[in-house]
Structure 1
Amino acid sequence: MRFEGKHSFFKGKKIKNFNNLPYTLSRHHQLYMCMRQTGVDGNKSNNFLYDGDLVSCGREINFNAKYPNLFNSFSQLVGVNLQDELVVYETKSTSIHGLRYEPGCALVLRYENDDPVFGIVRDSIVFKKDKYFVIQCTSGPAALNQHILHHTLELTNDFIIRSFCSLEYNWPLSVGKLVTMNINTHTCEIF
């Protein structure tokens, strides 16, 4: 029967200690769980119960050729002096901790006077197993349209690059089009 499958760990052990059987079984189980949670070098594992980041298919590109204006900020973000030709992996979508980032989704970059400042993700880049986003900026805080309860986004031609770790608000938000405006459904309280 499959109903007793959860007891297979305890049934599979052959223990010749009948004095305190619950203590012996629980001790073996705790040692087994400690062994599973340790990393290769014997330290605590960082990704126990986490499958890892999912990166979709993409291609290798020359970062300097595609984004010459972002080269200096990317080298500061990475923390090294980069060569003239920097090869990075550009993906169509990235899933980090269950959150899916695709080109066209919005991120809240910061708040100014309780109004959100958005940015639109244009590309996802992987460099040395770290995830970076090329973000198109908006012109200041987004105006809330009271009629349709959406924020209106006005895009500029400015681009920035941010790593996933440096995002304070890392939830991707959907962006839709309403006639000629980019709108975003961002939760807000109306008093």
Structure 2
Amino acid sequence: MWCMRFEAKNGHFKRLVKGNFKNIPFSLAHQNQLYICHRLLSSTSYLSNQTVVQNGKAVDFSYHPLTDRLLELLNQPQQLPVWVFSASSLSMCGVVYKIGSVIKIPAIDPDSDFSLACIDLIIVVNDQNFFVYRRLSICDFNDHFYSYEVQQSPAIGIIQCSGLVQQCALCLRKVAGRLLVTDKVSTVFHVPGLSN
């Protein structure tokens, strides 16, 4: 596992502990919580529900296989042509979604909490945002990279942005011929032998 990100985080704590030798764990935890709280509360994009759509163009969606599903989500009768605005990226609640980003969508399988999908198109219609996605099938969980091994599936779908399981964009990487999906924002490590 690559450790440079952990070393960078460690450097932050080394700066905090300089000259402070009383109750170091409490001091570090307290200072880190204050820092995170400051970042979250001072970030307008994290707290606001403002949506920012980046660069795009008007596209005729009339002959797309998901046109009927889009009209059903919009509660509109079938009328052609169906014009949509296709964006290159979309920012919601501080999370930037781009074409190729991975999202968590509601699961098909009742035993699973979520499914993974790769964004093919970001479309805006009547101030409503939608992701056209290609479903990813989860093969296995890779403990070494702490990521999901996935395979691309031919199944496509469309979901309104508010229908996501979790507001986060995951990262899709190809490592040694395998497609891996990792969390960009936070990673939780489970240490064997320690209980929660």
**TM-score normalised according to structure 1 size:** 0.65
Distance across 2 between alignment mates of 1:81 and 1:142:
39
Secondary structure (helix, strand or coil) at the match of 1:168 reads coil
Alignment counterpart, residue 55 of structure 1, candidates 50, 53, 56? 53
107-116 vs 125-134, which deviates more?
A: 107-116
The separation in 2 between residues aligned to 1:108 and 1:142, in whole angstroms, is: 16
| Equivalence for 1:146 | 143
Number of aligned residues: 140
**Structure 2: segments with no counterpart, 5+ residues:** 1-46
Residue 3 of structure 1 aligns with which residue? none
What TM-score comes out, normalization by structure 2 length? 0.64
Secondary structure of the corresponding residue to residue 77 of structure 1: helix
Q: What RMSD in Å do the two structures reach over aligned CA positions?
A: 2.2
Tell me, yes or no, if the aligned pair for 1:136 and 1:155 is still in contact at 8 Å: yes
After TM superposition, the structure 1 stretch with the greater mean CA deviation from structure 2, 55-64 or 174-183, is 174-183
Q: Partner residue of 2:62?
A: 64
In structure 2, the CA distance between the partners of 1:144 and 1:188, relative to structure 1 (3 Å rule), is: farther
Counterpart CA distance in 2 for 1:51 and 1:164 is: 12
Per-residue CA shift, 1:76-122, capped at 9, x if unaligned?
11111131210000000011111101011111113553564210111
Matched, 1:171 2:168: yes
Residue aligned with 2:73, SS: helix
The aligned residue for residue 42 of structure 1 is: none
Q: Is the 8 A contact 2:59 2:83 kept in 1?
A: yes
The secondary structure found in structure 2 opposite 1:175 is: strand
For the pair shown, the structure with the greater C-alpha radius of gyration is 1
C-alpha contact 2:105 2:163 (8 A) present in aligned 1: no
**Sequence identity (%):** 19
Runs of 4 or more consecutive aligned structure 1 residues displaced over 6 Å after TM superposition: none
Paired with 2:165 and 2:118, the residues of 1 have a C-alpha distance of: 15
Are residue 117 (structure 1) and residue 110 (structure 2) matched?
no
Relative to structure 2, which stretch is displaced further, 169-178 or 119-128? 169-178
SS of 1:82 mapped into structure 2:
coil
Report deviation, 1:138.
1.6
Q: Which runs of 5+ in 1 are unaligned?
A: 1-48
